[in-house]
């Protein structure tokens, strides 16, 4: 089975790197150094795979990437707002490190679900 390069797949990998980086403040604050090192290594490995995927894309697909990343950014903003509201209602305050990591995760989930729902059936 061969996978062809896909701009959507690349955008999801880059978005996952962004979500991993958004969780770093929680690990820095909690002083979980071993987990922090593992997470940084995972982000680096995913970034390398993303770079390889980038070079395999055609220029037409590369031009679509900024729009997809912008849509991901909008989903992250919505995720952060929703998680901040949830924290405020549940705890009476907002911990920004938790809101950032959980909001970025929710944003990635919304983004991937949006891509999945928009996917056209194979012709």
Task: Show pLDDT as tens, one digit a residue, over the chain (123 residues).
Answer: 566 778 899 999 999 999 999 999 988 888 888 889 999 999 999 999 999 999 998 888 889 999 999 999 999 999 999 999 999 999 888 889 999 999 999 999 999 999 888 876 554
In the chain, what are the domain boundaries?
7-118
Cα separation, 90 vs 84, whole angstroms: 10
Cα separation, 47 vs 42, whole angstroms: 9
The pTM of the full predicted model, rounded to 2 decimals, is 0.85
Cα separation, 46 vs 116, whole angstroms: 21
* Chain CA centroid to CA 14, Å: 6
Pull the structure tokens for residue 32.
């979980």
């Amino acid at each position: 089975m061969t996978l062809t390069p896909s701009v959507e797949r690349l955008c999801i990998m880059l978005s996952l790197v962004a979500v991993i980086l958004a969780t770093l403040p929680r690990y820095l604050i909690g002083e979980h150094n071993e987990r922090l090192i593992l997470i940084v290594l995972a982000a680096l490995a995913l970034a390398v795979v993303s770079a390889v995927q980038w070079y395999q894309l055609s220029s037409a697909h590369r031009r679509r990437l900024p729009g997809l990343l912008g849509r991901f950014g909008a989903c992250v903003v919505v995720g952060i707002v929703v998680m901040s509201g949830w924290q405020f209602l549940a705890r009476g305050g907002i911990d920004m490190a938790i809101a950032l990591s959980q909001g970025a995760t929710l944003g990635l989930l919304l983004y991937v679900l949006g891509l999945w729902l928009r996917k056209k059936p194979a012709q």
